[in-house]
Chains A and B, each alone.
Chain A
Amino acid sequence: MSKTREIAVTVNGSVHRAAVEPRLLLADFLRHRLGLTGTHVGCEHGVCGACTVLIDGDSARSCLMFAVQADGRSVETVENLGRIGQMNALQQAFHAHHALQCGFCTPGMLMTATDLLRKYPLATDEEIRVGLSGNLCRCTGYEHIVRAIRTVVAGQAGDGK
């Protein structure tokens, strides 16, 4: 075991201090140390996208980053998007369009879509599908996920954003 490091990471607005081994993946830190099990771990090599979180606002695979690298950074996980009864617009759209079946990919889909909605116009379904190409879903066939995101894009346009 290598020497542990002291880190202070802001997760969903709260600062968490911990001593971590350098090899501890951010995904495992979030799940095992902080109990934030909304972040799912699928492939552990950056292919499935289930562990996607936001680091200082930008989406990133938490299985391809070490917790020690998040020292001083702000991490946002799916737990921060909303709560039961108080879901955000994206979560409500997923709910309304039945954009999940087993739910395993959903946290990664939501965090990816959050970043996509900020960075790309997503004017076409093709653009939405390209944006989601790094997130695997084995249940839905993606159609309902695309539909949910399309609704949010339309809603933003309606808000004049």
Chain B
Amino acid sequence: MKPPAFDYILAESLDMAAAALAEAGDEAKIIAGGQSLVPMLNFRLLRPSVLIDINRIANLAFIEEAGPAIRIGALTRHFQLETSPLVARHLPVLSCAMTHVAHLAIRNRGTIGGSLSHADPAAELPMLALLLDAELSVTSASRTRTIAARDFFIGAMTVALAADEIVTEIRLPKPPQQTGWGFEEVARRHGDFALAAAAATVTVSDGAIREARIALTGVGPTAMRASAAEALLLGEALGTSLTSRVIDAVRDRVQPETDLHASSDYRRHLAGVLAGRAVSAAWRRANTAAA
């Protein structure tokens, strides 16, 4: 349980990190909070020849309001997201989700950029990035580009980053007025990875749903949106029978794995229950906001 030997580069700037990554290519790993990477090193599931440490790069940890969006620096720690008044005001579903991310000692170190890049199939932040239609800024020695969250998560622990790219910033559009939210998770122990989790936002006007988003995690190789279930909600007022149909659509959407922690059937069942609760909570909050 000791990591293999590696060379260590302390990046003083993003340019320096990108140059080091360009030079080392597949052999290198970026270390941000290290809360997923270091266990993998300790287990020797990974043997990078070089670790490029971005923890001391200035101006990579921030939470800012930028017109219609909230900008979040990739090195922003989970605890900062959890306690940010700006996030609480504009993206309360994210504040709520952060309390489910691991434990304080891990939230003090873990970063949003790291969690999204790592893309654990049961992590909360990829689900939130999909729910909130995040855009990720990524950079390399040769170019900078933007990737939509829906194009970012490709498979279990696999994302659309090239070997020389680093996530630098996440932009989350502020939800419209009269948007409610819900977040529901079941884990064996508080802070453990989700057996299943669901998050939803619902925007209402004149008593009907104008926009609905439902995202899931823990029930497939990546977090996902449940588009068919979302479509059922449009133009409707939420009631018992509609909630049942949403739950069925969510269950149709997922094909969870069976593992030590839970069976596929149980995870599918949970996904439906949790999505139903999340949508109901979102509907309730949206109507409270409207009142």
Which positions in A face B, CB cutoff 8 Å? 1-3, 5, 21-23, 25, 28, 44-46, 49, 52, 55, 58-61, 63-66, 68-69, 112, 115-116, 119, 129-131, 133-135
Contacts and interface: CB of A to CB of B under 8 A. Distances in A.
B291 interface: no
Contacts, number: 96
Interface in B22-71: 34-35, 38-39, 41-43, 51, 53, 55
B2 interface: yes
A134 B191 contact: yes
Nearest to A56: B108
Interface string B1-21: 111111110100000000000
A122 B105 CA distance: 16
A61 B106 contact: yes
B118 to A, nearest CB: 13
Contact of A134 (B1, B3, B4, B102): B102
Contacts of B1: 44-45
A23 B109 contact: no
Which secondary structure characterizes the binding site on chain B?
Answer: loop
Given A60-B108, A112-B104, A134-B191, A2 B6 contact: yes
Interface string B180-200: 000000000111000000000
Contact of A65 (B5, B10, B103, B109): B109
Contacts of B43: 45
Given A2-B6, A23-B2, A25-B3, A133 B108 contact: no
Contact of A23 (B3, B55, B79): B3
Contacts of A5: 8
B105 A3 contact: no
A123 B39 CA distance: 33
B42 A22 contact: no
A22 B105 contact: no
A131 B39 CA distance: 21
| Residue from A5, A64, A69, A112 whose CB has the most chain B CB atoms within 10 Å | A64
7 contacts: A23-B2, A23-B4, A61-B106, A64-B34, A69-B34, A119-B79, A134-B191
